[in-house]
Chains A and B, each alone.
Chain A
Amino acid sequence: MRSIDRTLARDITLVCLAVGLVAVSYGAIAVASGFPLWLPMAQSVLVLAGSSELLFVGLVAAGGNPVAVALAGLLVNARHVPYGLALPPGVTGRGWRRLLGTHVMNDESVVFALGNGAAAYWTCGIGVLIAWPAGAAIGALIGSVVRDTNAFGLDAMFPAVILALILPKLRDRGTLFAALAAAAIALATTPFLPSGAPVLLALVAVAVVLPSRHREEQ
């Protein structure tokens, strides 16, 4: 197990701070959109996967069925399967420690594990396990104090947070086209379909990348 030098420790700290910041907006938005305080808190500890929690809060607040939305959230979280395949053996620990080591597998900790080994994986994983729930709790408290969230533009923060998170992935042209098609489908069907359904229907836009990628492979 490689140890962690100063630069690496600083990098991990910065990543955890950024995660905490997203969590603050997540907690505030969740409570401001009418969810009980326990929801962002429980999800932040138990699910510990930001994008899917944001998806859950956004779609259920819009009227989506929580069970159907949870299944969509699982689709977003399915990337953890290839993460587990990619991690070098033993990184998540042995025996009972592996229960925790597996839970702290996330986008950030996997990146650090692949570049810097097990110590970096654990430091980042535990850091996120602290920063994400702590931020969500602070945000939830802020959200329950602010009454008229629209006057402060809080409703614009939610799409802005998600957009900032996915933007790096949109630099890939195929993904960008699929994403634009998805946005068009969701917006066009919003007036007619029950709330929450348009976003799920937009998933068919994945088909946009099927033929183009196939050609590239040949």
Chain B
Amino acid sequence: MAEQRTAKRRSFVEQRLGRLEHPGASARVGLADVSLRPRLGVKGIGTIGWMKRHAVTVPENDNLAVAHGAAMLVARLSPSEALLLDTGGGKVMERLAASLPPHGDGGAYPVPRMDTHGWFRLGGPDAPHLFAKLCAVDLRPEKFPNFSVAQTIAARLPVIIIRQNIKNAPHFHVLMDSASALYLWDCIVDAMAEFGGVVEADTDPRGDD
């Protein structure tokens, strides 16, 4: 008889590093592995049409994000690609994922971003300074406004960086190739030591509208 449901989803950092300790919160810069939060990629020429049909808020431009209520952050990566990040823990993501079959719907196709990409969240006033040691894009608050999206390279690794204010403080969502998640994790932990950065637990990432 088949052994049912023995497998458990694990975060990419946890999978490769073992159990993660969460020492607490930092005033200067904090790093959290939020890879277990649901997310979904949508791709194909029908992407924007599909989003509209399913009442998903569409960002006005490429490389721009928008909060879909408190439930979800929607980032538009190109005219034919979007990334939906669960920030509210609601059922919206589940419903949307179920409505996009693997073979596509009107030129929109699902992408398993839950598995292709790891997801970290960084916050704190020194987060832009930390990124300045890894990434050539200027992420200071006045230069990288709320809901900006950068598809760029950090520590020689392709990443997607999305800014979102959480409780009025700038935060950065960082998405990277899941196989390289631990590599980038180590780079960030090393780079943030200078600022007294700490690893935080995945607390509620609900962002400001």
Asked if chains A and B come from one complex, the reply is no
